[in-house]
Amino acid sequence: MEEKPLFYLGIDPSQRYQPYVYLALDEKLHVQAIGNGPLREVLAFLAGIGSACVAINGPQSLNMGLVDKDEDTQTLFPVPASKRGDLRKVEFMLLEEGVQITPTPADESESMVWMRRGFKLYQKIQKLGYQSFPDDQDRQFVESSAEAIFSRLVGGTPLFDSLSLEGRLQRQLILYEQGLAVKDAMNFFEEVTRFRLIKGILPADDIYQPGELNAMACALLAWMLHHKPEKVKSMGDKREGEIYLPVKEEESLRLRH
């Protein structure tokens, strides 16, 4: 029987004011560590873990123009032909699914700062001995998309903006329903009173920040790879980097039957 990792980590490099946010879950989906900081802090944390599966919320490579070359998909894409090649194939697929993503350009100089931080993270963790899943190693990593994870877990239901309070409440509730040991976001509404609203006091201390929720969703995905592999699927093209996501609701129903 394959030995499972000791920890399941999610890392989110996408936050503007927090270069990297990381979160670790144990086998029972309890939060074991959470933090944010520069790359060296994240790498120090990863270096100290003997066995882990890490899911990163960000692209691991630039696009190679595969969407532009794929004649079968061009007619389905809703933007001008001149823009079709400026994203990866997996991002094209997610956009068709209704997931809000940031396209990855073909030129690194045109990439957003958080993407370049992500590229560096992928390079550095491999030097620590982390290997691309599903290699049978004690240290593994995968690419994922927090926004797509949340979308898939609720069957494609539209998501509120991730930076808004309602978006944070929605995402924490989704994770709570998946069995993570976090506080029920519905408790927030029980603590809201007329007086607190008038005074601008909201009981949001128990609601995680956007980057933390993204990291937690990715950590859950890493956990699912080893505990519920039948509910996870890879998508995309290996030349540009595959990502792993929960299976769609309709696919999950087909698998049951």
221-235 pLDDT, tens digit each: 999 999 999 999 999
pLDDT in tens, 104-138: 999 999 999 999 999 999 999 999 999 999 887 89
Three-state secondary structure readout of 64-133: CCHHHHCHHHHCCCCCCHHHCCCCCHHHHHHHHHCCCCCCCCCCHHHCCHHHHHHHHHHHHHHHCCCEEC
Residue 142 pLDDT greater than 90, yes or no: yes
Please, which pLDDT band fits residue 17 given cuts at 50, 70 and 90? low
Instruction: Check: CB of residue 218 under 8 Å from CB of residue 22.
Output: no
Q: How far apart are CA 103 and CA 91, in angstroms?
A: 6
Residue 227: Cβ-neighbour burial (10 angstroms; 0-12, 13-18, 19+): middle
Mean pLDDT, range 186-212, rounded to an integer:
83
Q: What is the mean pLDDT of the chain?
A: 88
Continuous segment of H or E residues that includes residue 246? strand 243-246
Task: Note the pLDDT of residue 24.
Answer: 98
| Residue scoring higher pLDDT (190 or 71) | 190
Structure tokens at 44: 């120090």
Opening angle at CA 223, ends 181 and 174, nearest 5: 45
Q: How far is residue 234 from each of residues 59, 139, 145, measured CA to CA in Å?
A: 14, 19, 12
113-117, 176-180, 184-188: least confidently modelled range: 184-188
Query: Across 166-175, 185-194, 232-241, which has the greatest mean pLDDT?
Result: 166-175
Supply the pTM of this predicted model: 0.89
